[in-house]
Amino acid sequence: MKFTGEQVVPGEVDPDLFNEHRARYLFAQQFSSGKKVLDAACGTGYGSALLGEKATVVFGVDISSDAILYARQHYRGTNLHFGRCDCLALAFPSGWFDVVVAFEIIEHLENPEAFVAELRRVLHPAGVLLLSTPNRLYYTEERGEVNPFHQHEFSYSELQQLLSSLFPHCAILFENHVPCLLISDGNAPRLAAGSFAGAVVAEQPTGTASPPENAQAAHYFVALCSNRPLEPTSPLLLLPSTGNVLREREVHIRRLTDYLAEVRHDLETSERLRSDAEQREKELSRLREEHNQLLEERTQWALSLQEDLERARSALQKLHQELEERTAWALNLDQDLQHARETIQKLQQELEERTAWALNLDQDLQHARETIRKLQQELEERTAWALKLEAELQDRCADLKLLYGSPWYRIGKTLHLGPVPPSDTKTSDVPQR
């Protein structure tokens, strides 16, 4: 995993930068002994491993899959657990951790209030939150550098206002990277922070600046937050085995001395080369005259080529104009062709519609013919039925005439011995057939 400028990779960063980050975790060790610790935005996991030296169990979470993979490969322990997780939505129960560490992450977030609130959720009511962030007044404004990875940087008052809105007890400490002098038995690289208890580790000049002024000059803030009163904390003085400023300056002076010797040697060599340069200057003068003559010839040749080029450009312009005209003509033809296609399509559609109309008329005609045939058949049948009724009526009329003319009927009618049909009330009513 390579250092990108933000995520610290041990062995890939400047020692001074690594020690700035490492010192915060060494400071946090005094709160982690025997505790359950969350390292939010743990990065490559080196800090979680430092906390694991004191803590009962450490959970390191980060949103970067590459960082978590690096941490799992390089830092292993029965009390170390690494997992990918969004620090704005931690996958842990409320009040689960005794100590929560969040170093150099809050400045990267668009919603720092929600982040701190989520850390408070997973922190035990008696637990401690340790949070660090660069001092905007020093980190950006004083140095004139803008970090493109940072969303929101804090001054002392801004950080204090944010933390105090969520925690009743807050203390903001200052982290500064300063040179120092050490008097020891020669084992300084192996000395622990506790080895300096009772020793003079700093000289405070008279007229010390007040805390607000110190806050403006601080490089980084390390905040302690809790729901209960904070106990006094021990300061941390880190004397790293790497990043020795005095030794680096001696190496730099040695390099400058070697470079100065090389420069002197080059000056002596330049004296010898000066005479050669004068002779070369004479030869160069002769070559310049030859060059000027050749340049004049080439200039004439270039002018001739320029004329040919102008003629070619003129011909090319004419061809280009002719091409534009033919392109316009082709476009017009294409438009006419498109119009003709649309007309043919409309005519074809109209032909299809009229053909469908004619087919519908033919179907209607066939239906009418079938209806006429059925009506004609029915007319013939009813005519035959009417003729049959006519013949039957004539037969009945003949029977009535015979009946009415019977003497027995007339006697019965006169004597009222039987019913008289209405048709026999008058002799004129008898049908004459």
Residue pLDDT, tens place only, 239-284: 665 555 545 555 567 677 887 888 888 888 878 888 788 888 888 8
The residue written with tokens 């622990």 in the block is 192
Q: Dump pLDDT digits (tens) for 319-375.
A: 999 999 999 999 999 999 999 999 999 999 999 999 999 999 989 999 999 999 999
CB of 132 closer than 8 Å to CB of 28: no
The reply to whether 103 falls in a domain is yes
The overall average pLDDT reported for the chain is 83
* Mean predicted confidence (pLDDT) in 287-313: 89
Checking if the pLDDT of 216 tops 90, the result is no
Kindly state the average pLDDT of the residues 122-151. 84
Give Dmax over CA atoms of the chain in angstroms.
Answer: 186
CA distance 287 to 209: 73
Any domain includes 250: no
Q: What is the pLDDT of residue 215?
A: 67
Q: Are 232 and 143 in contact (CB under 8 A)?
A: no
| CATH number of the domain to which 30 belongs | 3.40.50.150
Q: For residue 119, what are the domain limits? A: 15-180+209-241
Answer whether residue 246 is part of any domain: no
pLDDT recorded at residue 15: 75
pLDDT tens per residue across span 376-386: 999 999 999 99
Q: Is 390 domain-assigned?
A: no
Q: Give the best-scoring range by mean pLDDT among 18-27, 53-62, 213-222, 380-389.
A: 53-62
The reply to whether 145 falls in a domain is yes
Torsion of CA 405, 406, 408, 409, to 10 degrees: -50
Give the full edge-to-edge strand order of the sheet including 123-134.
80-84, 57-62, 36-40, 97-103, 123-134, 220-226, 169-175
- Please check whether residue 88 is in contact with residue 108, taking contact to mean a CB–CB distance below 8 angstroms: no
Coil, strand, or helix at residue 150?
coil
Residue 123 lies in a domain: yes
Which amino acid, one-letter code, is at 217?
Answer: A
Note the pLDDT tens digit of each residue in 186-200. 554 454 544 554 444
Q: Say which range, 90-104, 166-180, 325-339, has the weakest mean pLDDT.
A: 166-180
| Mean pLDDT in residue range 304-328 | 91
195/237 Cα distance (integer angstroms): 10
- The residues with which 134 forms a beta bridge, in sequence order, are 220
| 237 CA to centre of own chain | 44
Q: Is residue 293 part of a domain?
A: no
In a domain, 200, yes or no: no
Mean local confidence (pLDDT), 299-320: 91
Cβ-contact 400, 368 below 8 angstroms: no
Count of CA atoms in the C-beta half-sphere (13 A) of 1: 22
Closest to 134 measured CA to CA, from 103, 88, 163, 157 = 103
Q: How many domains does the chain have?
A: 1
pLDDT of residue 139: 66
